[in-house]
Chains A and B, each alone.
Chain A
Amino acid sequence: MLLLRTISLYFLLVFLLWGCAVDKRPDHYISAIPVSRSLAAHASHLPQHRQLQNALKQRNLIISETGEILPINQSVCNAALFYRVTDATFPQYVGKHQDLLSGFYIDVARVNNDWVVVDTDNDFTQSQRRLTLPALALALTPKLMRHDAIIIRPEPETRLSDLKELLQSAKAQFPQHSLQFVVAEKYVVQVEKSGVKGVSDSTAQSHPYLAATSLTSDARKRVLMTVDSFNVAEPIAIIVDTQPLTACMQVNKSVVLAPIQKIIAPPLTVDAVLLANVLPSNADFNRLDEQQRLLSDGQYLTIDNRQQSYPLSNKMDTNRCRQLTPGDELYQYCLDRQQDGDTAVTTQKYIMKKQQQ
């Protein structure tokens, strides 16, 4: 009996001491993260655009719902894109522009104690528009995205008191967004003290600055630049309005990726998808109808509106050493130096000769 009790006690102990193994294996595993193909927000999801959209994506491009060809995002431009606002109407993509734009740019002039949005480059008095800044803010605010920045450039020669006043009203009108002010270099520090990013309106070393008008174009309305540690100026932001793609292509020559398809002979049927595949990187993608017509002649239009032939080979060999021949003047630079100079050639005896009389 005692033995039985002892044995049962032991069993109880063993049972208590022993934890049972836990099996947490599920019946089947499922992916924690859904892997979906994302597309830029400003891209069209219309079914008629689907094929073209896929082709354009391969070239860093998209088509918008209105049929405009745009960069797939701003980062492919190697610079931030800002939309320049001159009136209260906006392109269709504004409002879902988080991939394309970093924000908005506004030139304002002081007219009768109002800040008026103007459409000018340097001569702020010439402007005819009468859209005030608060009115614009009212129209723009619903379209703004979370990360949008607003760049405001008051007319040059603005007095400091007016500038302060503008700063206050801008802060009030765009309370959720970061502001940048383009001012004379001497005011930059002062502007930054009030919590607004300062941009110099002339070339500066320590701040971003607005590049001279000579560096702008029809598509690239303004350029903000900065000087890097090697003292090389490079654009950090470009201000665009109606031609974002052209502006982008002007800043970064390799925005549009190389064609994914080569054409050997003009094809019988030309459609937009084919064009998206074959047009060279400097082609104007917003004139696909004309491009379609030109392709049968083996021609295309560039962004600067020149008509060119399709290059036979997409890749130019940039290494001259593979093309030069020994007869060419530059060929020598492709060779290693011959180390043949360490034997003396002149140390023969001098032979004295009798002078002929």
Chain B
Amino acid sequence: MISSTFSNHAKILLLLLLFVVYVCLELSLNILLIDMYAQPIQAVFGEHSITAERLELFGRTLSGFGLALAVATFIPATLFNRLIRDETKKVEAGKPLNPKTAQLINGVFRPLILVLVWALIIPCLRIAVDGVVDTTSNDKKLSAVRAIVYKEAYLAETVAIEGFPEFDDIVSDPKRKDLMVALIPSLAYFSAGFNKLIESNLDNMADQFLLNRQEVAFITEAIPRIRQFDRTYKQELARYQKANKAYLVALKKENNYSLIEQERVALLNQANDSITNHWKSYSQALLDADNYRKDVAEDANNPIRKGYSSVKDDYFSSSCKSDCRQQLKVDFAKYLSTLKYDTGESFGVYLTADDITVAKMLKSKYYLMSMFERGRIKYIHRLYGIPEEMEYEQYNDSPQALTVAVDVFNKQGVKVANDWTLSDQRGLHQAIEAKYKGRAKVLWNEYRKSARFSVTKPRLDRVGFARLPQVTKYAKKTLGNYYLAEFTPSISERKYKKLWLAKQDNISFIKMVTSTAATAAFSPGGSMFMLGKDAVKLAVIPPMSIAASLLAIFLLFIKLGVYLWSKSKGYLTLAMLAGAIAFGVPVGASVTDKNAYHVMMGNFAEAFSTVDPFDRIFTIGFGYVLDVENGIFQTYRDLSVVRLVGQIIKYRPPYQPQESNQPVETIALEHEQYFLRAYDDLAYGWLSFLPKHYGFGEVIKPFDTNITVLKQDMNVGAYIGVRLENEKVAAVNMPNFLQNSDIGLLAEQKFFYKPDVAGLVSEFASNFDDPQYWLQLGQGDVGKESLIQKLEVNMTAYLNHQPSTLSLLNTLHKKGQNNLILLELKRTKKYRCFVLGVVDAQMISDSINVNFFDYEELPKCKAVL
């Protein structure tokens, strides 16, 4: 009995323990889901994509266990009779269980079923989710895309709702932001009122996002280019103005006879002065030759004096004959004549061997002094180029004087002819003329060679310079894509930016994917098929999972309570108390908080959820769910169990610092994860026949090229799916776009070129004011089927007859680019072409957050429709 009581206690304690473990795991899932989906889509699909998959698998495993447990425990015992061979042990209704039977059923059968069902449920949930996503209508997919757009914009804090500053407060509060961001897509998706609000604002919102991005692009790319232009422009302007000034000065001189005469007179006067001064300094230098370098001769320690002494010694040595003596004289004369001081200054004498006196009679000093003086006089004659015997009277007519004059002219840049004589006035005038002749032109040509803008004509003022074609050309080259004809060297940056922004093609990705005409493109095979799936998954699955795990915790509590009620009131009290403390208190606090979500959502429902009662109830209910979640999330987000689970699935929330040393045991866990993943994939493949079997989730091969036609106002005109075969258009699929666009658009887009068109258009024209016609059109009675089919057939033939468009399609197909966007140019048949990669949800995030152009324009695109 004691042991039975003990085992009872142990059983309850074990159960409580397992329950706590389960609750912890569910809690972790719940919190990690919020953490994960509070991130921008690009993170969910990018750095966290594998973690997101793991989290999803973890969620399925966990809820699979819960479901399997429910199934296993709720199967009536009588069902097991088939498995029991022993008749006596079979379960009989209304009778208590045979202990052995109970043992068999509860100990073997039920656990076996639990494991089997669990194993089946894991992949089946995935299949079910995919099925749900696939069967979601195109309209709902569009709603999901809108919801995602709103979430991303909300997360990026680029959007606000009029009259609801609370939303903005929440997103700018890091504590409360995550929960709201993770769950808001479901509100945006499920609440028709909210969705409508987004829809009605989306066009303008998209334009503004685009404008923001374009402005950022302008600031980061065009502004440096403009400033680069300005630097060059200013340099060139300064260079031009300088050259212009120099040119005009030169030109003035060039044509001015009197000025040239003035210069001639001035030059002649200078030449006369120079000639006179030359003689003056020559005659003075001769006078100064007295006692030249006397100090050197007198200084007994001077190396020259010593040198002379040693020459003397050698000269008078017995071995030195006449040759040797002559050589000594030559050498000493050369030594003195070429002698230079360290400063480069010449010693200033010129001597030949004959001038060298070597004698013993007097002191060296006297011989040196006499040599220096003689050498100096010779040196002066050589220096001034005047012969020794020339007198001043001869000098004025001498070639020496002429040379002095010519030197003066040369220094002034005046080059007289070789046969010029001192009396040749005209020759000098012409030489000065020649100095200036063409000088202006030469100066100008020098400017033109060195200047980038190389302006042909001088005399332009700043206004004229600014409007030169060279300037425009350089501006075009520098600014590239950012050039507009309105650009001038003086237009202010702000003004130009405004002009540029106004001129941009506002091809907005967001606008395109949220256009009501876009619904057709969500169909299987359409260009936005993937996007639609992603959007539904992102908008519906995370919030549902979060809510489901919350519900699971709640339901398990009830189940535990029911179980303990019959077993032990004590444990029940304990468990309920613990539950109340663990969940009741934080939730209660959250609900009664002055910032409680339900109050805000109530106001929100009042303002926006006016479509139907469900919408209203859902919105308010959403507020309460937020409150409950908030209580739990705020209390337990840092719980170590959550961290541990996060570690297992290798998820590192952004607020958690990266751990440098990864625990070793995670490798083993990884292996286990890998096993589970492999099993899941295998079972998924194996069981995927189920949706087909039950007739939903038809799989369609993607088109080779998806063409999106944008009207001039940047709204979507049509989507066309094209299949290519042997470089020809094999088939065209125009999704059912008539349901959302008016038929006039078709006429506008010039798709019709065959006689059918005329008929169709005239039918439209004669009936457009007839409500019955519109009703029929709306119901698709105006030959919608036949029209589309006809169009598709005609389009195929038509595209095959447009060689340029066909070759474009083929080129794109070969490059693997399958999204072509054609932008109509001013009501012509011509289009500008853009290509886009695979359209998925990540692009939404990119087009809101990142400064990057979604579209790559094809240069020289020749698409014609």
Contacts and interface: CB of A to CB of B under 8 A. Distances in A.
Contacts of A75: 430, 433, 437
A31 B255 CA distance: 30
B251 interface: yes
Interface in A16-43: 17-19, 21-26, 29-38
A339 B264 CA distance: 52
A34 to B, nearest CB: 7
A268 B492 CA distance: 57
Interface stretch (B1-9, B216-224, B556-564): B216-224
Q: How many B residues are at the interface, by size bracket?
A: 35 or more
A58 B258 contact: yes
B541 interface: no
Kindly list the 3 A-B residue pairs having the minimum CB-CB distance in the complex, ordered from nearest.
A341-B493, A17-B370, A338-B492
Contacts of B159: 349-352
Most chain B Cβ neighbours within 10 Å, of A25, A332, A347, A354: A354
A264 interface: no
Contacts of A18: 370, 373
Interface string B185-216: 00000000000111011001100110110011
A334 B289 CA distance: 68
A58 to B, nearest CB: 5
B493 A33 contact: no
B607 interface: yes
B197 A73 contact: no
A343 B464 CA distance: 31
A46 interface: no
A265 interface: no
B485 interface: no
A352 B160 contact: yes
Contacts of A343: 219
Contact of A26 (B153, B357, B392): B392
B488 interface: yes
B494 A35 contact: no
A254 B255 contact: yes
Contact of A341 (B196, B290, B492): B492
Contacts of B200: 354-355
Given A17-B357, A350-B159, A334 B463 contact: yes
Most chain B Cβ neighbours within 10 Å, of A10, A33, A318: A33
Contacts of A32: 271-272, 275-276, 396-397, 401, 405, 422
Interface stretch (B361-369, B532-540, B788-796): B361-369
Given A35-B269, A352-B205, A10 B361 contact: yes
B311 interface: no
Nearest to B230: A337
A26 B276 CA distance: 11
B497 interface: yes
A344 B216 contact: yes
B265 interface: yes
Contact of B489 (A24, A26, A255, A333): A333
Interface in B219-234: 219, 222-223, 226-227, 230, 234
Interface residues of A, number: 70
B575 interface: no
Given A24-B286, A320-B464, A341-B222, 5 more contacts: A23-B287, A26-B393, A33-B275, A338-B494, A346-B208
Interface in A55-83: 57-58, 60, 72-73, 75-76, 78
B255 A255 contact: yes
A325 interface: no
A333 B463 contact: yes
Contacts, number: 223
Interface of A: 9-10, 13-14, 17-19, 21-26, 29-38, 57-58, 60, 72-73, 75-76, 78, 98-99, 228-230, 232, 252, 254-255, 257, 318-321, 324, 330, 332-347, 349-355
A160 to B, nearest CB: 36
A257 B467 CA distance: 31
Contact of B392 (A24, A38, A344): A24
A74 to B, nearest CB: 10
B255 A78 contact: yes
A228 to B, nearest CB: 8
Contact of A21 (B269, B290, B422): B290
Given A38-B261, A60-B257, A354 B162 contact: yes
A255 B254 CA distance: 10
Contact of A346 (B211, B401, B423, B426): B211
Interface string B278-293: 0110111011011000
B255 A76 contact: yes
A23 B272 contact: no
B362 A10 contact: yes
B256 interface: yes
A273 to B, nearest CB: 16
A57 B289 CA distance: 51
A336 B269 CA distance: 49
A352 B490 contact: no
B594 interface: no
Given A230-B448, A335-B490, A339-B493, A254 B251 contact: yes
Nearest to B200: A355
Nearest to A352: B201
A36 B425 contact: yes
B287 A349 contact: no
A121 to B, nearest CB: 29
A340 B290 contact: no
B280 A37 contact: no
A349 B366 CA distance: 105
Contacts of B261: 37-38, 57
A57 B256 CA distance: 9
B279 A29 contact: yes
Contacts of B494: 338, 340-341, 345
A332 B488 contact: yes
Contacts of A339: 227, 230, 493
13 contacts: A17-B370, A22-B377, A26-B279, A33-B275, A37-B265, A60-B256, A73-B257, A75-B430, A228-B445, A333-B462, A349-B160, A350-B158, A354-B607
A33 B461 contact: no
A340 B493 CA distance: 6
A321 B461 contact: yes
B269 A341 contact: no
B287 A344 contact: no
B817 to A, nearest CB: 31
B212 A344 contact: yes
Contacts of B280: 25, 29
Interface string B339-361: 00000000000000000010001
A17 B209 CA distance: 106
Contacts of B161: 351-352
Interface in B431-469: 433, 437, 441, 445, 448, 456, 459, 461-464, 466-467
B571 interface: no
A336 B466 CA distance: 11
Nearest to A75: B433
B645 interface: no
Given A10-B362, A32-B272, A349-B159, A319 B462 contact: yes
Given A17-B370, A32-B272, A341 B362 contact: no
